Structures are given as structure tokens and as C-alpha cells.
Amino acid sequence: MDISLVGLGHIGKAVVGILNENHEYFKSKFNADIRVISVSDSRNTIYDKNGLNLDKVLMYKERKELDEVAEVIGMDEIYSLHSDIIVDMSPATKDGIAGMKMYTGAFEAGKHVVTSNKAPLALHWNEIMESSLKNRKKILYESSVGGGVPLFNLNKYSLKSSKLLEFRGQVSSTINFVLNQMIAGVDFHEAIKTAQNMGIAETDYRDDTNGLDGARKTVIIANALLGKDYTLKDVAYEGIDNIKDINYMKNSGEVYRVLSHITGGKDPVVESKIFTIKQEDPVASMDSLSMGYLERTDNNDDLTVFEKHDGPLETAAQVVNDILLLS
């Protein structure tokens, strides 16, 4: 299995680390000999037909000398390489078009796609899935929502015989961490600064705090779980930029979380907004840095799945899991 990686930031570097450390383990356990033949960041794409030396990739990336590791090629050349999968770990763009073109280009070139990038899926679900179907190539996107928590694969493989009644998920850590801090009396900008220092908020945090990031995730969950082709236009969402009743929230003693909320049935609800959570609700047991969800189904009862802490390593582990599923 030869793969091309696009993006070598928090997630990309963690994926390279997991693949590097576990190469022999994956080979002996799954018979998966995974070679990374190209890696791209915003400036360079490097390529070695026999597989890149991953220690060197990480070391030279740190020194900002990625172009010293191997042959430098154009980003567009990755489609003509002999890779089986293109793995997208590049940043979300406003219109998601670059990602959509990357995926359809990969399918047309006979490659599967693994992605942690939400924007193309939230904005161009239909085009991407049609191209995947037409070219008989797969796209796996477990890491795009909920970090390390299994959601799409769990639904796809373990809940086939059930219908979704309701989904409530805490799938965005930045917005929930900042909201929690504000309720504890911390100023919005101070809370953002703390979140950035912890590595959970991006430099441009606005898509997180205005609710767009949560809306993108909600579209993907609804499409995957309900078999729809919604886009951002179909989601009602709110952020925490202009909360009017923060003083009320501070004094109420209740738990508040921004959740993706989706219902099944004839007229599904698809929204991402602030919920008041009762103490006895399983969702209240997640802290603001947890990722997880409660799913009500007809035949599998109510499932609660969550992880205590989420970060780049957990997300990267899901990227690698998708690569292993395809292998």
C-alpha cells in the first residue's frame, strides 16, 4: 500500500509518527506494508518511489528543509504517482473547492481518499460521493468529525440494523472549552488565548467561535448517518461570539454545551447550537475537552461513546485506522 500525504501540520506529523513507529507492527498484524511515497506541505511536495524515510521527513520538516529529503515534484503530480491512497490533512478552505478537486482528481486517477478536512465534505458532499461511486474508489473521513471518537465506522459496521432516532454530539472542543471558561468568569479573549496556548484553537479561531466549524461537522454527520446530501445551507447553527445571557448561565448552575443535534424521521432536525444539559444526562459526564456523542436508535438502544481528552494524536490515530481499513 503506497500513500501520498497532503498536509504536514499537527495531524500530518502525528500520522507520519504513527506510521513510522508501527510499520513492522502493521505489517505483522494486518499484512499491511504501508509506504509513504510523497508528502506535501504548503510549499513543497517531495517524492521517493521506494518510500520516504519518515524519520528524515519529521526532522527536516522541523528545520523547514523538507525539500532536502527527496526529489521535489509539483503538487499536481501526485495524481500520476503510483499511490493507492491520497490522504488529505490540509486546512479547511472557505469554499472547500480545492479539497473537492483533490478528491475527484484522486478517484479519476484510480486512488482512494482518506481525509480529516471537513470543508469539502460539508460543501460538496454530492459531487464527491458521486465521483467516488462512478470511479469505484472509496473515501473514508472518520477523523473529520469528533477527533479520535469512532463515529462513522461504528455506525457503518456495527449499527446497520438500527435506524437513527436522535444524535446529540459534542464534536467541537474549542467552542466548548471557551464557552466553559466564559461561564467560569474568564473573558472571551483570555479564554481564546488559553485555548491557543493549549494547541486546541487555531490562530484564526473565528470559524470555531461563530459556529461554522460545528455546522460543517453537523452536515457531515447528518449526511453519513441519514444518507442525505445536505450542505451548510441546511443547518441551523449558532456560535458563542455574541451570547447575551452569559450572566444568567454563570449563575444557573447548569451545564451548557454546543452540540450537533440531528433527528431521524420524515422531517429531520439538523442543527448545531447551545444546549442546557441536565446533570443526569450522560452528555453531562463529558468535560468541555472531551469528544463524544449520545445516539438513540430503535434496535440498539441508546449508545454513549466518548473519549476523555482529544488532540492531534487521537485524530491522527483515526486517519491511520482509515488507511488500514483501505489496505
Binding site for ligand NAP (CB under 6 A): 6-12, 40-43, 89-92, 116-118, 143-144, 147, 312, 315
Cβ closer to ligand NAP: 217 or 273? 217
Please, what is the minimum distance in Å from the beta carbon of residue 65 to ligand NAP?
Answer: 12
Cell of 265: 424521521
Beta bridge pairs of residue 297? 164
3-state class (DSSP) for residue 72: strand
Residue 31 or 203 having the CB closest to ligand NAP? 203
Place of cell 461561564: 183
What's the closest the beta carbon of residue 97 comes to ligand NAP, in angstroms? 12
CB of 152 to ligand NAP, least distance (A): 13
Backbone angles phi, psi at 286, to 5 degrees: -85, 135
Phi, psi of 210 (to 5 degrees): -85, 0
| Residue 57 and residue 39 in contact, taking contact as beta carbons nearer than 8 Å | yes
Smallest gap from residue 260 Cβ to ligand NAP (A): 14
| Cα–Cα dist 115/197, whole Å | 26
Q: Which residue, 183 or 259, has its beta carbon nearer to ligand NAP?
A: 259
CA 48, CA 56: separation in Å to the nearest integer?
12
Q: Which CB atom, from 17 or from 147, has the smaller least distance to ligand NAP?
A: 147
Residue 252 beta carbon to ligand NAP: minimum distance, rounded to whole angstroms: 30
Closer residue to ligand NAP in complex, CB, 175/255: 175
As measured in angstroms, the least distance from the Cβ of 318 to ligand NAP is 8
Q: Quick one: which of 79, 5, 72 has its CA closest to 35?
A: 5
Q: Which residue is nearest to ligand NAP (CB)?
A: 9
Closer residue to ligand NAP, CB minimum distance, 67 or 166 = 67
Kindly state the smallest distance separating residue 219's Cβ from ligand NAP, in Å.
14
Non-local CB neighbours of 193 within 8 Å, separated by 6+ positions:
none
Distances (CA, A) of 194 to 174, 213, 240: 10, 19, 16
Distance of CA 40 to the CA centre of its chain: 19
Residue nearer to ligand NAP on the CB measure, 216 or 257: 216
Kind and range of the H or E run holding 55: helix 54-62
